[in-house]
Structure 1
Amino acid sequence: MVSASLGCTYHSEETLKMTQSQTRRKLLQDMQLRGFSKATLSTYSKQCNRFLEFCKAKDTSKLTEKEFRAYLLYLTDRNDLAPTTINLYNCAVRFLYEVTLEKDINYKRVPHVRKPVTRPEVLAPQELEAFFREVARPKHFAFFLNLYGSGLRISEMLALRVNDIDAGRMLLHVRCGKGRKERFAPLTQAGLEAFRYYWKMYRPTNDNDYIFPDYTKTRTQSPDSFESMFRKIVKDAQICKKASPHTLRHCFATHTLQSGMDLMSLKEMLGHSSLSSTTVYLHLSLVDKSNTKSPEELSTQFWAEYRERNFIHG
């Protein structure tokens, strides 16, 4: 840092010498002061801790770009990490250097990995029908039907509370979206009925009114349980495509465009910051023009078939 009055360079006492424990503590404080979400706090902390363990530096104030660059090369050489994951490590360590350790970084020496251009996987309506035909429990049906019908991320669905369901306006209030942005997502009639049936059957009352609480009744259920169940259902439905719960969001976006929705409206529904993130679905919607049904219509069909299979009346 430069003193304006004396014209000399000085360093704060914190940056003269820092142990790893001091560094971790200051890193957490720096993130908290900037209002980072709990998810970012956890992710950045874990990634920076792994970097510090890799370096084995007793005095982190002496870290240079050399260690940063060596770590990125180590991650790249592992061959088991996707470019997106490596770039996330890069962002976390950059924050550690620039904010916590107050060190300048030459981005040309620690660049982000180029990501291959890939198109999201989308299930055709027939594949979705096969998928929902294999869903047995009301909880899983309500969860996956609303992931598809509303286009939510799995973390957003798990964060929903009872009062986030606006049955009057047929909307879901997403309070914990990506980037901590709030938005409203569409709620289908079939999705609402599936929620109500699940609630009637399970009565999952809990301290925080989460729609999908865990056994403690104080937290949301883990995404792992839904992800493993999704994989089982995909296998049972004999779907050969590589799919995850997030695939249902891709299906929502693609089918919404195919049914006539404009790109800007879809951008708001999905909670995208940039229109470029939404335009990828425009290409997918044009590849197969055979589908004209909206997520609302398809959700109604899947829910009707589920009710018939399980003898649900009223």
Structure 2
Amino acid sequence: MRSWHIPYTKEAFGELKIIFPAIEIIKSGSSDISNETQIQAKENNAGRTVPLVKGKNVSIVISGRKIILKLPKNELDIRFITSLRYSRWDKSNFCWIVPNYPGNIELIKEFFGERISTIEISETITIENKTGESRKINKNEMLIVEAANGRLQIYFAYDKLVSKKIKDFPYHKWNKNEKCWTIPYAEHYLAELQKFADDNKIKLIVEKPAVENRQIKRLSQRGDAGYRNCPEEYILKIREIQYSEKTLKTYQNAFEEFINYYREIDLKLIDEKMILEFMRYLVIERKVSESYQNQVINAIKFYYERVLKGERKTYLIDRPKKEKTLPTVLNEEEIKLLLNKTENLKHKAILMMAYSAGLRLGELINMKIKDIDSKRMQIRVEQAKGKKDRYTILSNKMLAILREYFVRYKPNEWLFEGEKGGQYSARSIQKVAKLSATKAGIKKNVGVHTLRHTFATHLLENGTDLRYIQSLLGHESSKTTEIYTHITTKGFDQIKNPLDQLDL
């Protein structure tokens, strides 16, 4: 007879009783042994072979997305369990783990039948943070964590209704490391989840990013006597090929961070291996964005390829897949509140211009009086991103505000000038946007670019073709403009489901 053997001690027997509560002791030489341990089989109603085993010796725990099975070992049981997709043996807990897929628990109940001693449904899940601290989420709770990567991490005890709701959001994704669903961060998504939770009597808990996820700050020139400045020939080369001042500043800052990482080493002696080491530092320790990482690579390549006239190289480094996030937009009521709460005429004109023309912050600052064409009701945007000119639309209400603004403030060259003349500063304009949003009671993170995103979304909701929106925004690729189709939900009620067209 084939069997398992364990040490003949009280401790071993005690542990065995925990795993098999219904265990019986049969003395050696008993005539009952051979009959009780032989596993016979028959076919059930579904034609599946099931073992004929006496006694209730199968315990089941349903915990979230897992079904946990504890039972004595026999070949037919193992064959059945392994036939269930993605089932596995957990040797540390001495049990079988089966995914809680639709239909699995029914199959398990049918197979084991009267052998099932208990079926326990766990009403909670336990999650653990990076410090090892654990917390429980009850069945009627949903935890949403605003992650530092621009995603919402959603934790909940398994519920078909909640799972279905999350899968309705675009770019939803299962995070196997954190064991949670994630969706792009958007205020209206949070509001939608709050309404869903209220309707289904679920307690919604929203948490901000943990301090541990914050970035390490870059080295600063301030108070550092050994700080290494960008080489003069680097700056001259950028000016020589007529890159914009914004590009100059971006490249200069990025390259200075690089050369101060190796401040004791001659720039000409820094090799490819050292460059890759610095890039890993940015990703792993600084936790920089993918866009900043690309800026640094471009700044480094510019020095070695354009300034030193070296050969072109590609610097590759593994990095996490970029998460897709949706831009923040305001609804029409919020835009109305924002503008009405802006009492200063110049400030109102600035915000109205950003929204009504879909301008970037830099385009707003560089706008000149001559760029306003009131006859054609157009605005010329000169040397925008990528050194490209374009035209955008001029609103009648915007024109009326501009005329009132011209009479009162009398700008000379720039459309929006500071108190002492010259261009209005970027920081001041951003402060204006945030202050107006606060006065309007808008809790979203509002900046000038939010107004540009809102302009595009409202155009799309009003039926404007994507090609026109692409032209007005100055997007080089239509794929950039298509992001707004994932934000708007207007018109969903007009879409006819193809199933409804079938004669069933």
Task: Name the TM-score, length of structure 1 as normaliser.
Answer: 0.77
- What amino acid is aligned across from residue 241 of structure 1 in structure 2? K
Query: Are 2:418 and 1:214 equivalent residues in the alignment?
Result: yes
Equivalent residue number for residue 490 of structure 2: 288
* Residue 70 (structure 1) aligned to one of 255, 261, 277: 277
CA displacement 1:56-104 (0-9 Å, x = unmatched): 1452111112222222222223446333223222222222233223445
Number of aligned residue pairs: 265
> Is the contact made by 2:297 and 2:315 (CA closer than 8 Å) also made in structure 1?
no
Equivalent residue number for residue 231 of structure 1: 434
Change (3 A) 1:155 1:99: same
Equivalent residue number for residue 314 of structure 2: 107
SS in 2 for 1:268: helix
Query: Are 2:451 and 1:248 equivalent residues in the alignment?
Result: yes
Change (3 A) 1:76 1:44: same
1:46-195 maps to which residues of 2 (within 5 A)?
Answer: 46-79=253-286, 81-104=288-311, 107=314, 109-110=316-317, 114-195=321-402
Equivalent residue number for residue 32 of structure 1: 239
SS in 1 for 2:444: coil
CA displacement 1:89-127 (0-9 Å, x = unmatched): 222222223322344565353467643111111111111
SS in 2 for 1:238: coil
Distance 1:112 1:273 in 2: 26
Distance 1:232 1:69 in 2: 42
SS in 2 for 1:172: strand
> Is the contact made by 1:212 and 1:221 (CA closer than 8 Å) also made in structure 2?
yes
Distance 1:42 1:265 in 2: 32
Distance 1:182 1:25 in 2: 31
* Higher percent of residues as strand: 2
Give the deviation of 1:35 after TM superposition: 2.5
- What amino acid is aligned across from residue 475 of structure 2 in structure 1? H
Change (3 A) 1:175 1:60: same
Change (3 A) 1:147 1:241: same
Query: Are 2:467 and 1:264 equivalent residues in the alignment?
Result: yes
Distance 1:60 1:101 in 2: 10
SS in 1 for 2:446: coil
For structure 2, the 5+ residue unaligned runs are 1-227, 493-504
Matched residues, percent identical?
28
Distance 1:237 1:78 in 2: 38
- What amino acid is aligned across from residue 416 of structure 2 in structure 1? F
Change (3 A) 1:113 1:107: farther
Distance 2:319 2:264 in 1: 24
Equivalent residue number for residue 201 of structure 1: 408
> Is the contact made by 1:149 and 1:187 (CA closer than 8 Å) also made in structure 2?
yes
Distance 1:112 1:34 in 2: 32
Change (3 A) 1:134 1:78: farther
Distance 1:131 1:215 in 2: 23
SS in 2 for 1:179: coil
Deviates more, 1:48-57 or 1:73-82: 73-82
> Is the contact made by 1:254 and 1:281 (CA closer than 8 Å) also made in structure 2?
yes
> Is the contact made by 1:151 and 1:253 (CA closer than 8 Å) also made in structure 2?
yes
Change (3 A) 1:272 1:196: same
Change (3 A) 1:35 1:114: farther
Distance 2:434 2:448 in 1: 9
> Is the contact made by 1:68 and 1:110 (CA closer than 8 Å) also made in structure 2?
no
Task: Name the TM-score, length of structure 2 as normaliser.
Answer: 0.49
Change (3 A) 1:50 1:195: same
> Is the contact made by 1:151 and 1:249 (CA closer than 8 Å) also made in structure 2?
yes
- What amino acid is aligned across from residue 274 of structure 1 in structure 2? S
* Residue 480 (structure 2) aligned to one of 274, 277, 282: 277
CA displacement 1:196-222 (0-9 Å, x = unmatched): 1122222233xxx001122442x3111
Distance 1:111 1:190 in 2: 50
Equivalent residue number for residue 305 of structure 1: none
SS in 2 for 1:184: strand
Deviates more, 1:36-45 or 1:186-195: 36-45
* Higher percent of residues as helix: 1
SS in 2 for 1:178: coil
- What amino acid is aligned across from residue 460 of structure 2 in structure 1? L
